[in-house]
Structure 1
Amino acid sequence: MHKRLLYAVLPTLLSATGAFSAAAQAPADSLQVEQLQEVVIGAVRAAKDAPFAVANISRGELQDFSTTGIELPMLFARTPGVLAWSENGVGTGTSYMRIRGAGGSRINVTLDGVPLNSPEDQTVFWANMNSFGALMGSVQIQRGVGSSTNGDGAFGGTIALGTRAPSLVPTAELNFSYGYWNTMNLGVNASTGLLFNHLVLEGGYHQTTTDGYLHGTAGRSGNWYGGLSWLGRNWKLSYRLLGNFETTGQAWNGVTAGNDDLSLMDGTYGEHTGIKTYEDLYNVGLGLYNSLYERLIIDGNHYAMERYKMNDGSFWPRTTDNFWQTHHILNFAWDINEYWKLSVSPHYTHGYGYYEEFRYNNKLTKYGINTFKRPDGSTVKRSDFVRQKGLTQDTYGVVANVSYRRGAWDVVGGLSVQQFQGNHFGNLTYFGDPDVKIFLTLLNQAHLFNKDGGYCYYDSDAAKLDASGFVKASVAL
């Protein structure tokens, strides 16, 4: 992305008083603080000489990349064996990645040792982590089967995210970037530095907006962050609150999707289109086509796109994914002595979200609604709908790691326990044919309409208890 970047660091905006001078009375220097942070993340990372394919991304790379607003998989794709792409063509919003061909559900992701993979589908939704690079101190990517870790699915690879160590000096930072398709990123970070010889307070806010490249993919996403750390001579107690939000235009059917989810490429659309490559799509004017935003009209060799319309004649704005999530992580890290180190992290994550999608001329039976006859004798089998599918989820648990290093021996043990509670729902919030809504009311289905007028066609609860542990040892010969 070509961008104009304004980057300002104002290290003197916040300062501690002379009575609480970090330089004079700090219980631990910056090196000790970094070592305590290594206690937190070391158990889930491969050691320097371990026989695994590893790529490490530094804090500087993460900070520079975060100012673009592009999702983290695009940065990871700069390392060997990683492929990444986004739906909107800009690199923001809904994004995907593979490591050596393995998809998201086979890639284990942790944040300070805490599992981030969804307990239900074992994947990570990177759109919910926009600009997280600004909060990171380092990232390690293991390709293929690697070292033992906490959480699900490390068959394809492992990504260990580590937040920044607390800053002992006061800082304030402002970032701004602007690029094609009105893609803008704004970021603010601040730290008090060391207060009262022990306390560090930190915070930040980051936001990315874009018009998107494909039709109907405008979006807004970002994160906010707050943290406090109490530093001892050889231990650290910290609390981190990371929140994220996103409302992004969706294009998951891709540029080759035609009506009814069939491909425009010859062979599966049901008729000869003459479209065999992506270049052919652009040549017939369909390079920006998004079937979640508009329908395709084919007349011989002529192709046209028509926006979906509501009953009042207004256009359907766009299909959006909307999600809000907060991570609470309390961590105690203890550098016990020369040989032993301990890290314990209770954690809690709450998420809520939904997507809304225009469903053109869908069968009633798709939503459990029977066909019916109007008073004039005509049969109603199809209608336009707006479908809202969403979920709430709560995950809470604890992660503990202990390590012992002495002489040639390096032994690490870990334990992770977490409980997941979730609810999934599906609502129809718009009926293109108003007779369908009347029909449902006459069938005594009024109790399935919520206070906003949406018809609930499914509701499902989920619960899952996960527990895992590992011990790994290595000896230098």
Structure 2
Amino acid sequence: MKKRGLLFSLAVFSPVFLWAQNNLSIKVVDEQENKPLAGASVSIVGSLATAQTNRQGAILFKNVKDGDYTVRVSYMGYKPVEKRLVLNSNEELTVSLSVQEFVADEVIVNATRANAHAATTYKNLNRRDIEKNNLGQDLPYLLDQTPGVVTYSDAGAGVGYTGLRIRGSDPTRVNVTLNGIPYNDAESMGSFFVNLPDFASSVDNIQIQRGVGTSTNGAGAFGASINIQTNTRTDTAYAELDNSFGSFNTWKNTVRIGTGLIDNKFTFDGRLSRIKSDGFVDRGASDLKSFFLSGAWYGKNSLLRANVFSGKEKTYQAWNGVPEEKLFGTAEDVEGYIAANGLGGADAENIRQSDPRRYNSFLYKNQNDNYQQDHYQLLYAANPSENLTLNAALHYTRGRGYYEEYRAGEDYSGYGLEPVIVGDQTISSTDLVRERWLSNHFYGLTYSAQYKANDRLNLTLGGAYNEYKGDHFGDVTWSRYPLFEASAHEMHAGEFDTRYRYYFNDAKKTDFNVFAKGEYQAGNISLFGDVQYRRVTYSFLGFDRNLNNVQQEADLNFFNPKVGITYQFADNSQAYLSYAIGNKEPVRDDYENSTPDSRPKAERMQDIELGYRLSTARFHAGVNGYAMLYKNQLILTGQINDVGAQTRMNVPDSYRLGVEADLKWQPLRHFSWALTGALSSNKIKDFYEYINIYDAEWNVADQQINHYKSTNIALSPSFVGSSELAFIPIKNGELAFISKYVSRQYLDNTSDKERSLDAFFVNNLRLSYQMKFKGVKNIGLSLLINNIFNEAYESNGYTYSSIYQGDPTVYTSNFYFPQAGTNFLLGLNVKF
């Protein structure tokens, strides 16, 4: 509790007393017409000062210390400019920008991005922010120091299957786009970054919008959206080698090359990557490969870019977690778990002998997840006139793969088979190996048009149409006993290589949306409006009223309006207020295990955001409050529907209320302190828990219902805080001390402390040094020591409970995903 209070107090009440003494006034104008350029981005290199000009094209930075500075100015459609100046008194500077001869890549994502004056809560990360921690861990871990983010890893070290929650919202509620193109899986709506290993090495910038945010493409942004832009134009040729090695035999090898600008028109860039790791968890190994290719043509008023990128992953399964009896219990507790779950032989010895924090229940050598995903993007942007920008993109994603697993004692009936009779023996179950496949195609079109009517009014029209087609099927590839009638001789052979397809179904989903945005400047006030219409159709295999698997269809229509107001103060600060409505359809599992009568309803959320932003030469602050009010939020209750399945159910009323802070203070050029804090209350007003009551035959005989009022939403910590102290002790060297605190998280919605993850406080140390040699642009050495105090913690888990007929005791099983203790990653980056 003390740690939580300290971090939040520091985040909100950090000193804002600056020692600088000068005011720097900058005006940005068009070089030819000398007219002011409103909305130009201005930053002072080496300081935290960054902001946009007002309607008069002016900006004022207060309290800038004496010294030599470089002022960097950029504006869409104009050549960026850097100016050096020596500041020792108040200064007025005019910067003239000339029209750029080519269309910048940034226009590709503008339609779905929040700008500096937007009444939206957001965080921008540039290439430098991403590169400094990019030593092999997956993309979610590179976003860990942003407000309200909690990351987790199945294998415990940030390589392989990883994920993140933002404001407590899981990945199915976080919209992800790559160059404005949807990335979330169309059916599960999750974002599996393991399918794009080392993608961060091809990323130029990321914007994270918390809450509903601005209208975007793809899955509904119900807690946040992550808008990723890949490589942009580089005018000079380059080659780069990026290698790292670390704990658990973790290796990352990356090669990047680029031609620079050829004949003032063409660029080509490429990347090839490999990441391998044994994982912290036993056998939690990952073998990941990827590439990224991009070619662009730059015309005078247009841009055409083609991206082809692919990822292939082979990851040993670690998704069962560690049972509570093994992680926290005694030897007696472990024996009780063995008896209750019927473990024997190698499985029993595995749980007895393994390290409690590294235990993995899987032993089969090929218990792997195998998947490949290929992406093709064709992006076009044009400026047919000074005030009009057009964008369009065609995309296609091909995914295919399976996970293989060993299953002991499987009943033939579960695979649509009759028992096998061999001689006088009737065999009703067998050990087997099966593969569960997913083969899919995702393709479509995105588009936008942005029109700047004058220096007061900006209009945007955009949208997308996407189609998804996916085949789901499963094959038995090996069985100990025959699957069909066999001779006694075959019976004694003991192994049967076969390929028997025991299920197949397909699905089709279409997603159409169109949105219109407008921003109007009236003095210091900016008004924002955004309306989106989205239609989703889904054809899938589900149950009918007679509990037969039949093809079903769903057709949903959503209207998502958003309004906001921003007030710009004279000191580069601004306040904003917004109101938005978001809607989101259920995921595949919600649909396929239900009938038309029991299908859950779509979720609806009202999002209110109130915030304040300030940017000076030494201090940057963003503080906001939010209210996310849900109607029909989908959660696991344990309730059995009309086909006997436990799917998520709608709860009428729930909410997330919170305050967030994102601050950075730089009192000295060689020292900075970044802080984030997110304090929240996440509640379900009325929650009904359903617990299965099993009879002697392990059939569900009944359910016990428990009622909870104003209970906490699962996996939604009340406080998340982070700190990064960065110090430059020598030229080109940096030392950073990074901390993260996450308060208690409940595994279900009962607020039961016995079903929860303890709070954790983890600290990392990052060291880096850059140097140059003749013929080498840069050599960078990086050392990241994670969890330097060897904190034993778990960042994810799950739980379920049961009752046995005649025994009123509720038996609860908790499972946890322990994260690695002290570990390191050492990197060497060479740029030519």
Q: Aligning the two structures, in what range does the TM-score lie when normalised by the shorter sequence?
A: 0.7 to 0.9
Residues 419 and 466 in structure 1, CA contact (< 8 A), matched pair in contact too? yes
Using the alignment, how far apart are the partners of 1:358 and 1:172 within structure 2?
45
Query: Residue 454 and residue 234 in structure 1: after superposition, are their counterparts in 2 closer, same or farther (change >3 A)?
Result: same
Asked if the contact 1:372/1:381 (under 8 Å) is kept, the reply is yes
Aligned to 1:153: 220
Identity of counterpart residues, as a percentage?
32
Q: Structure 1 CA distance, aligned partners of 2:142 and 2:241?
A: 21
Aligned to 2:408: 360
**Mapped pair 1:341 → 2:408:** no
Partner of 1:248: 315
Q: In structure 1, which of residues 220, 224, 227 is the aligned counterpart of residue 294 of structure 2?
A: 227
Partner of 1:213: 280
Residues 103 and 381, structure 2, Cα contact 8 Å, conserved in 1: no
Q: Is 1:47 the counterpart of 2:47 in the alignment?
A: no
Separation in 1 of the partners of 2:237 and 2:467?
Answer: 38
* Equivalent residue, structure 2, for 1:71: 138
Contact 1:230-1:238 at 8 Å conserved across structures: yes
For the 8 Å contact 2:325–2:333, the answer to whether it is kept is no
Q: Which residue of 377, 397, 412 corresponds with 1:329?
A: 377
1:404 aligns with: 451
Listed one character per residue, the Cα deviations across residues 310-359 of structure 1 (whole Å, up to 9, x for unaligned) are xxxxxx31411111111111111113333211111011111111110111
Rg larger in 1 or in 2?
2
**Residue 242 of structure 2 is aligned to residue 181 of structure 1:** no
Alpha carbons 2:102, 2:299 under 8 Å: kept: no
**4+ aligned runs moved over 4 Å, structure 1:** 27-35, 268-273, 281-284
Indicate conservation of the 8 Å contact 2:102/2:301, yes or no. no
TM-score normalised over the length of structure 2: 0.46
Contact kept? 1:342, 1:401, Cα under 8 Å: yes
1:62 aligns with 2:105: no
CA distance in 1, matches of 2:333, 2:450: 55
1:33–1:165 Cα contact (<8 Å) kept: no
| Contact persistence 2:102–2:298 (CA under 8 A) | no
Query: Given the alignment, which residue of 507, 517, 521 partners 1:472?
Result: 517
Mapped pair 1:419 → 2:419:
no
Distance 1:36 1:335 in 2: 10
Alpha carbons 2:422, 2:487 under 8 Å: kept? no
1:91 correspondence with 2:165: no
**2:175 aligned with 1:108, yes or no?**
yes
What are the equivalent positions in structure 2 for 1:124-139 lying under 5 Å apart? Answer: 124-139=191-206
Higher helix share: 1
Q: Kindly indicate whether residue 86 of structure 2 is the aligned counterpart of residue 38 of structure 1.
A: no
Tell me whether 1:394 sits opposite 2:441 in the alignment. yes
Change (3 A) 1:233 1:255: same
Distance of 1:141 and 1:245 partners within structure 2: 26
Q: Indicate the SS of the match to 1:350.
A: strand
8 Å CA contact 1:185–1:208 kept in 2: the answer is: yes
| TM-superposed deviation, 1:371 | 3.3
Q: Which of 347, 350, 361 is the matching residue for 1:291?
A: 361
Mapped contact 1:220–1:246 kept (Cα < 8 A): yes
Aligned partners of 2:145 and 2:410: how far apart in 1?
Answer: 42
Residue 64 of structure 1 deviates from its aligned partner by 3.0
Q: 1:363 to 1:111 in 2, by over 3 A?
A: same
- How many Å separate the matches in 1 of 2:353 and 2:361? 18
Q: Work out whether residues 101 and 300 of structure 2, in 8 Å CA contact, stay in contact via their aligned partners in 1.
A: no
| Structure 2 gaps, min length 5 | 1-76, 82-99, 327-331, 342-350, 489-496, 526-832
8 Å Cα contact 1:257/1:291 also seen in 2: no
Q: CA deviation at 1:408?
A: 2.1
Q: CA deviation at 1:270?
A: 9.5
d(CA) in 2 for partners of 1:272, 1:372: 29
CA contact (8 A) 1:28 1:234 kept: no
> Is the counterpart of residue 462 in structure 1 residue 487 in structure 2?
no
Residue equivalent to 1:15: none
Corresponding letter in the other structure for 1:458: Y
Structure-2 separation of matches of 1:143 and 1:370:
53
Measure, in 2, the Cα distance between the counterparts of 1:250 and 1:187: 25
Q: Distance in 2 between matches of 1:198 and 1:212?
A: 45
Aligned partner of residue 498 in structure 2, secondary structure: coil
8 Å contact kept, 1:214–1:290: yes
Change in 2 beyond 3 A, CA 1:475/1:359: same
Contact 1:223 1:244 in 2 (8 A): yes
User: Gaps (5+ residues) in structure 1?
Assistant: 1-26, 274-280, 294-315, 443-451
What's 1:278 paired with?
none
Aligned residues: 405
- Residues 317/194 of structure 1: CA separation in 2 closer, same or farther (3 Å cut): same
Q: Distance in 2 between matches of 1:206 and 1:454?
A: 34
Give the CA deviation at 1:58.
1.1
Cα distance in 2 for partners of 1:111, 1:229 equals 17
For the Cα contact (< 8 Å) 1:105–1:153, is it kept in 2?
no
CA distance in 2 between partners of 1:272 and 1:365 (Å): 24
Distance of 2:400 and 2:325 partners within structure 1: 31
* Alignment CA distance shift 1:362-1:258 (3 Å): farther
- Whose relative contact order is higher, 1 or 2, with alpha carbons under 8 Å and at least 6 apart? 1
- The structure-2 alpha-carbon separation of the partners of 1:270 and 1:472, relative to structure 1 and needing over 3 Å to count, comes to farther
Does structure 2 retain, via aligned residues, the 8 Å contact 1:143–1:158? yes
Task: Determine the C-alpha separation between the residues in 1 that align with 2:405 and 2:377.
Answer: 34
Residue in structure 2 matched with residue 310 of structure 1 by the alignment: none
The one of 415, 427, 442 aligned to 1:380: 427
SS across alignment from 2:106: helix
Instruction: Give the direction of change, closer, same or farther, for the CA distance of 1:472–1:453 in structure 2 (3 Å limit).
Output: same
Q: State the match for 1:80 in structure 2.
A: 147
List per-residue Cα deviations over 1:83-129 (Å, max 9, x = no partner): 11111111111112111111111111100001111122222111111
Q: Which amino acid aligns with 1:47?
A: N
Q: Distance in 2 between matches of 1:128 and 1:385?
A: 27
CA-based RMSD of the aligned residues comes to: 2.9
| 1:388 CA displacement | 0.4
Contact 2:102 2:303 in 1 (8 A): no
CA shift at 1:376, angstroms?
2.6
